[in-house]
Chain A
Amino acid sequence: MPELDLLGGVLIQSTWAMMPILLAALGEILTERSGVVNIGLEGIMLISALFSVFVADKTLNPWLGVLTAIGIGAFIGLIHGFISVYLKGNQIISGLGINTFAAGFVAYSIEVFWGVRGYYTPKPEAKVPRLPVIGVSPLFLATIAITIVLFIILYKFDIGLKIRACGENPEAADVVGVKVELMQLTSTIIGGALTGLAGAVLSIDWLASITKQLPAGRGFIALALVNFANWNPLYGLLGSFIFGFLWTASEYMKNLEYFTRAIPMPLINTIPYIATLIVVAGVIGRSRPPQSVGVPYRRELD
């Protein structure tokens, strides 16, 4: 049954396609729940992907590459968090700056690191190995675990209530003794770290390459997913599967003559983006963002 094989292939591939979007969205859910918005996800993914390829390729140890990506993501999260939380900067502008910087820096670094322009493929040993029998990535299981842990922390633990309070009503949180600024900075750092992990999934697990446009808009699809999921990690899991499936399905269509005759190749590439717009437009009216997201919390008048 070739059709069933095809379906199985699409489903397995979807587990990869959903990972980067889901991880970045989980990071952003935590960040936005604490009251900070970070639209620099695309840039964080890209820079983390670059360094994880560099380290994994040099040491031939993919796990060191994964750790590097998490560290780089956390570091950029720290910068964004510091600007947003302590310097009361414009969070959207800072995020745009991260994306712009990443696009230039990664293209520059690919040439510095490997002396090639635009494209590098790491050695096979640098790739994250697949799990035996089920054939998915170990990082996929980690991603599912992170989703559940994040949900439990946000909704069942005291600290989760505090984080959500910072995003809904920071004044009230402050009054009952929550350290709002510290909470927001920590959330932004962890959010950055998860987005960094998403970058490693792209560069040394799923696509196993680095280009200057590796995330191809996935950082922004993750932002869309945050809205779609109504800032809830479990809905995020569901949504990421829809987005991941659509992305994989459009890749498969390119190999089927039946589809390529109906829709020419370059236009098949638009499917994930059109689907994102339609899905988000259909759902978003019902979602509710944290009340104070994106507004710097100022303790005293100035």
Chain B
Amino acid sequence: MVNSRFTEYLVYIGNVALAILIGLALGALIIWLGGYDPVKAYTGLFETSFNPSDYYYFASTLSYATPVIFTGLTFAISSRAGIFNIGAEGQMYMGALGAVIVASMNLPSPLILPMALITGTLMGALWGLIAGLFRALRNVNEVVATIMLNWIAFWIIEYARNYGLGDPRRQEKTISMPIEGRLPLLVKNTELSMAFVIALVIAILVYIFMWRTKIGYYIRVLGAGVKTAKYAGIDPRIITLYVFIIGGALSGLGGALEICGRPPTYAITTAASNIAGFGFTGISVSLLGLNHPILIIPASVIIGGLLAGSRGMQIKAKVPLEMVMAVQGLIIIALSVPGFTFVYRRWRIKKALRGGESA
């Protein structure tokens, strides 16, 4: 029974559902301790994210799912290689900055959108590459390297907003993407643009890359262990660089798409407030999606719903919207435990062994 792949999947889905429930339950406890009404809070949250009677809210959910698909893929690819690239945050900042630079350049209008996306992707890839070089050549812990680069990227975009790329009329944001460089909206009067469709296509392409190409295969072999990879004739350093470049490119593209595809500002706002947090949220998305490019899509919709509904929760129940971040943290902690069924199985084996000894 345990050998069957289907049962394993059921166990995984059960674990994911359990982790989400634990996160929401402990979140409710914290909301209650804070003096708010948890029922009202969660009703507000779901009414403004998965409300069947108003498509606007679901479109909003999908618009939040878009960037975290990209950052989720970044984390997923690195996880598959046994590496923890938690630098999607900074890589996304650099991608967004790349798009803003293109927006400032007065290019001929058909060139703006492709140039913005390409520049953003390349700048994200560059940011990933730097982290990769530290990891591959100097053996610097990638967690440390990526977090340092996140902070550096943060101050670089703050610099860019204050010196040269700021909107001359509105201090609180950079130059906006001109109308010719914007992606069409999928649903009128919502924030959902073509960027979501691009995200879906990219997720499928990453799946094909990971399971149907040589490099993808090498990445997964590296995940089985550095020694394993070496025996298979793979240079772990080269594959590590691939992981960081591709991961950075994905988050960079995600950042550029935020500039080209998210109303109303089409720009980076003060302290990156409109893109901050998507990188770290990608970690929750990837973990909920079992680090699988296709499963990341439903996971991104769940997390996108939390993000989209956080404002409704704040308006209807006065609960500060950062609460959903805390819920995400609780879900991640719950997911770090290798499955409660696994613990149960272990306990059963232990019991059986003890019984055997005493007999």
Q: Which residues of A contact B (CB under 8 A)?
A: 39, 43, 79, 83, 87-94, 96-105, 107-109, 111-112, 117, 212, 216-217, 220-221, 223-224, 227, 264-267, 269-270, 273-274, 276-277, 280-282, 284-285, 300, 302
Residues of B within 8 A of A221 (CB): 144, 148
Contacting pair A104 B143 (CB below 8 A): no
Residues of B within 8 A of A112 (CB): 34-35, 320
Contacting pair A223 B139 (CB below 8 A): no
**Could you tell me the distance in whole angstroms from the C-beta of A58 to the nearest C-beta in chain B?**
16
**Could you tell me the distance in whole angstroms from the C-beta of B82 to the nearest C-beta in chain A?**
10
Contacting pair B35 A277 (CB below 8 A): no
Contacting pair A302 B144 (CB below 8 A): no
Assembly CA distance A105 to B329 (angstroms): 9
**Could you tell me the distance in whole angstroms from the C-beta of B298 to the nearest C-beta in chain A?**
20
Contacting pair B159 A266 (CB below 8 A): yes
Assembly CA distance A282 to B86 (angstroms): 22
Q: Which of B144, B325, B334, B346 contacts A104 (CB 8 A)?
A: B325
Is B138 on the interface with A (CB-CB < 8 A)?
yes
Contacting pair B320 A90 (CB below 8 A): no
Q: Which of B45-53, B149-157, B233-241 contacts A (4 or more CB under 8 A)?
A: B149-157
Contacting pair B329 A100 (CB below 8 A): yes
Smallest CB gap from A219: residue in B: B147
Residues of A within 8 A of B343 (CB): 87
Contacting pair A300 B144 (CB below 8 A): no
Contacting pair B35 A104 (CB below 8 A): no
Contacting pair A88 B338 (CB below 8 A): yes
Residues of A within 8 A of B134 (CB): 277, 281
**Could you tell me the distance in whole angstroms from the C-beta of B284 to the nearest C-beta in chain A?**
7
Assembly CA distance A281 to B257 (angstroms): 33
**Could you tell me the distance in whole angstroms from the C-beta of A301 to the nearest C-beta in chain B?**
9
Within 8 A of A (CB), among B227-258: none
Residues of A within 8 A of B284 (CB): 100
**Could you tell me the distance in whole angstroms from the C-beta of A41 to the nearest C-beta in chain B?**
11
Residues of B within 8 A of A224 (CB): 140-141, 144, 148
Contacting pair B320 A111 (CB below 8 A): yes
> Would A101 and B330 be within 8 Å (CB), given that A273-B152, A285-B138 are in contact?
yes
**Could you tell me the distance in whole angstroms from the C-beta of B176 to the nearest C-beta in chain A?**
21
Residues of B within 8 A of A264 (CB): 159, 162-163
Within 8 A of A (CB), among B260-313: 280, 283-284, 287
Sample 13 A-B pairs with CB under 8 A, ordered by A number.
A79-B333, A93-B332, A100-B328, A104-B326, A105-B329, A108-B34, A223-B143, A224-B148, A270-B152, A273-B148, A273-B151, A285-B138, A302-B346
Is B13 on the interface with A (CB-CB < 8 A)?
no
Is B39 on the interface with A (CB-CB < 8 A)?
no
User: Beyond A103-B322, A274-B148: 4 further Cβ-contacts under 8 Å?
Assistant: A96-B283, A101-B326, A267-B156, A280-B144
Residues of A within 8 A of B283 (CB): 96, 100
Q: Which of A43, A89, A274 contacts B338 (CB 8 A)?
A: A89
> Would A97 and B333 be within 8 Å (CB), given that A269-B155, A280-B144 are in contact?
yes
Q: Which of B140, B334, B349 contacts A281 (CB 8 A)?
A: B140
Residues of A within 8 A of B323 (CB): 104, 108
Residues of A within 8 A of B333 (CB): 79, 83, 94, 97-98, 101
Q: Which of A265, A273, A284 contacts B138 (CB 8 A)?
A: A284
Contacting pair A98 B329 (CB below 8 A): yes
Smallest CB gap from B326: residue in A: A104
Within 8 A of A (CB), among B153-199: 155-156, 158-159, 162-163
**Could you tell me the distance in whole angstroms from the C-beta of A209 to the nearest C-beta in chain B?**
17
Contacting pair B338 A103 (CB below 8 A): no
**Could you tell me the distance in whole angstroms from the C-beta of B29 to the nearest C-beta in chain A?**
12
Is B335 on the interface with A (CB-CB < 8 A)?
yes
Q: When A and B form their complex, which 3 residue pairs have the shortest distance between CB atoms, in order from nearest?
A: A101-B329, A104-B325, A97-B332
Contacting pair B155 A267 (CB below 8 A): yes
Contacting pair B329 A97 (CB below 8 A): yes
Is B56 on the interface with A (CB-CB < 8 A)?
no
Smallest CB gap from A39: residue in B: B143
Assembly CA distance A227 to B138 (angstroms): 12
Residues of A within 8 A of B152 (CB): 270, 273-274
Q: Which of B144, B280, B328 contacts A223 (CB 8 A)?
A: B144
Q: Which of B34, B138, B158, B336 contacts A93 (CB 8 A)?
A: B336
Contacting pair A284 B140 (CB below 8 A): yes
Assembly CA distance A285 to B141 (angstroms): 11
Contacting pair B162 A266 (CB below 8 A): yes
Assembly CA distance A79 to B330 (angstroms): 12
**Which interface residue of B145, B283, B287, B337 has the most chain A CB atoms within 10 A?**
B337
> Would A212 and B322 be within 8 Å (CB), given that A217-B147, A269-B155 are in contact?
yes
Is B212 on the interface with A (CB-CB < 8 A)?
no
